[in-house]
């Protein structure tokens, strides 16, 4: 998550408005989800001012409504829809057909929730969702305990939320239920802009950014969105650690290391956890290095984060594909005299939406196996299963090292679906032919995938490509005399995960 700290509420509002205006210049046809409440009202005021001072056209936009009190008609003056009309739609001159209110007064609210989800998809999905955060960590009206996999739904409101919103009602009584976009719906937006202001939000912001992924803090899910930005003022940021606010100052890249043939990884036998998003990813991406580690006497455990049943294997059922791919994973592990474990994480069955149960399952493996080194896909990998596997693993690892007060190496790998940029990898491992052959044997154990695509050829080609180009492009200047890395190598992004210091 990108974090922008501002001095006060006014600067926060102005900064958020500039981010939105930049998006509108890029995409004048954007679909924008809107939140209500005190926090975004300053943003909407700045948005209106900028629209008239800069003359940016708004007639191509679509607007969707984040949440509404159940039974509340959009024309009711106490509705959240009325607030949006007053603060944004009327000042901007937005036509009514460009606004899509939450159908909270529909006589069949459950069906209306599904219709609203379908409407958003027909619009092409949300290009941007604007959010605030509640004092208890809620986003929209998703109270603590809401499943991250929930879509638009009906929900009871907590006492704290009703109390906070009572000022908007003449009676002083807030409705007890609401219709709201769910966490999964929110995560479906291409970008998220979250605002937080005031000292009363400091605890919620800290729990969101520095606490565990937890359904009891719905906002913690936002850390897993690939394009989420938090704009907050100084008071809301008061409890955040310097590491969170200024990660670049603390997370300096590890120095470049080259593991030559003669160089050992460790001086004594260690346990190595090899995590693969799909059953066949490990050998494809790091099989040669695993061969060297096994040769050095270390214990390997292969872990598949998902079943991989979505692979195209003709004339097979879902259950048959699960069994087949697990057997192939066991054959791959046997090539390295190792064991294979299938975690079957829930996110794979939930449109890549994570859960705290996923983290707990990974932590269980970490606690029992106690690895010194963990291999993972990269969090920058655009494949959704690869990216989510990497994020969940890093979440579990951070909790693990925090609990034990220990340090663990994390090596992120590349593969045919994702390549590191020139300066992004900091670890180079030389391979002999025997290491390459074991790597290929591990890949070829996944016969169902080799028959679909020759990933063994792609992986070998990548290892040879890296061996040819890395000496000149990464280890020295272009055109100069370069060291010979042999015919094949693998490259990694190496991290050292340590416990966070208490603030």
Query: Which residues are designated catalytic?
Result: 67, 136, 138, 143
φ, ψ dihedrals at 415, nearest 5°: -175, -175
Please tell me the distance from the alpha carbon of residue 459 to that of residue 443, in angstroms, as a whole number: 9
Residue 418 DSSP label: B
Q: Which residues are CB-neighbours of 14 under 8 A, at least 6 positions away?
A: 46
Please tell me the distance from the alpha carbon of residue 6 to that of residue 24, in angstroms, as a whole number: 22
Token pair recorded at residue 500: 């966070």
Rg (CA), the chain: 25
Beta bridge partners of 177: 156
Task: Report whether 63 contacts 98 (CB < 8 A).
Answer: yes
Angle at 241 between CA 407 and CA 395, to 5 degrees: 45
Q: At what angle do helices 318-335 and 281-295 cross, to 10 degrees?
A: 20
Q: Is 72 left (phi over 0), alpha (psi -120 to 50) or beta?
A: beta
CA end-to-end span of the chain:
20
Assign 3-state DSSP to the chain and report helix, strand, coil percentages, each to 5: 45, 20, 40
Q: At what angle do helices 455-473 and 281-295 cross, to 10 degrees?
A: 70
Task: Report whether 127 contacts 23 (CB < 8 A).
Answer: yes
Task: Report whether 135 contacts 201 (CB < 8 A).
Answer: yes
Token pair recorded at residue 388: 């989510």
Q: Which burial class, exposed, middle or buried, applies to 23 when counting CB atoms under 10 A from its CB (0-12, 13-18, 19+)?
A: middle
């Amino acid at each position: 998550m990108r974090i922008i700290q501002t001095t006060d509420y006014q600067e926060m509002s102005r900064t958020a408005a500039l981010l939105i205006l930049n998006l509108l210049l890029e995409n004048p046809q954007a679909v924008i989800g809107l939140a209500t409440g005190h926090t975004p009202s300053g943003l909407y005021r700045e948005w209106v001012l900028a629209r008239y001072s800069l003359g940016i056209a708004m007639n191509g936009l679509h607007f969707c409504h984040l949440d509404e009190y159940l039974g509340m008609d959009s024309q009711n003056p106490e509705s959240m829809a009325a607030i949006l009309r007053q603060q944004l739609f009327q000042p901007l001159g937005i036509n009514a057909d460009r606004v899509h209110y939450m159908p909270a007064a529909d006589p069949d609210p459950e069906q209306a929730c599904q219709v609203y989800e379908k409407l958003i998809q027909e619009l092409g999905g949300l290009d941007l969702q604007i959010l605030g955060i509640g004092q208890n960590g809620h986003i929209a009206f998703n109270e603590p305990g809401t499943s991250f996999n929930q879509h638009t739904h009906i929900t009871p409101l907590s006492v704290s939320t009703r109390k906070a919103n009572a000022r908007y009602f003449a009676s002083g009584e807030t409705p007890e239920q609401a219709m709201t976009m769910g966490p999964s719906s929110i995560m479906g937006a291409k970008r998220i802009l979250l605002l937080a202001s005031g000292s009363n939000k400091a605890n919620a912001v800290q729990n969101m950014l520095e606490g565990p992924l937890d359904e009891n803090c719905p906002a913690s899910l936002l850390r897993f969105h690939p394009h989420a930005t938090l704009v907050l003022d100084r008071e809301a940021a008061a409890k955040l650690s310097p590491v969170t606010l200024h990660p670049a100052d603390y997370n300096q890249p590890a120095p470049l290391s080259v593991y030559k043939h003669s160089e050992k990884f460790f001086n004594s036998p260690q346990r190595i956890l090899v995590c693969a998003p799909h059953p066949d990813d490990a050998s494809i991406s790091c099989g040669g290095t695993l061969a060297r580690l096994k040769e050095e006497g270390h214990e390997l455990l292969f872990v598949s984060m998902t079943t991989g049943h979505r692979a195209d294997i003709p004339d097979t059922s879902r259950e048959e594909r699960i069994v087949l791919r697990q057997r192939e994973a066991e054959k791959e592990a046997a090539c390295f005299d190792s064991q294979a474990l299938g975690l079957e994480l829930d996110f794979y069955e939930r449109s890549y939406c994570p859960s705290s149960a996923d983290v707990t399952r990974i932590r269980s493996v970490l606690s029992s196996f106690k690895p010194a080194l963990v291999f993972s896909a990269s969090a920058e990998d655009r494949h959704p299963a690869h990216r989510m596997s990497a994020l969940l693993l890093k979440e579990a690892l951070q909790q693990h090292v925090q609990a034990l007060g220990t340090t663990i190496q994390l090596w992120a790998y590349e593969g045919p679906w994702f390549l590191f940029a020139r300066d992004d990898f900091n670890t180079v491992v030389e391979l002999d032919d025997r290491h390459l052959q074991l790597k290929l044997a591990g890949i070829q154990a996944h016969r169902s995938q080799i028959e679909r695509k020759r990933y063994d050829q792609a992986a070998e080609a990548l290892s040879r490509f890296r061996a040819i180009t890395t000496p000149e492009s990464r280890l020295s200047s272009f055109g100069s005399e370069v060291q010979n890395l042999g015919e094949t190598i693998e490259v990694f992004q190496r991290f050292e995960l340590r416990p966070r210091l208490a603030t």
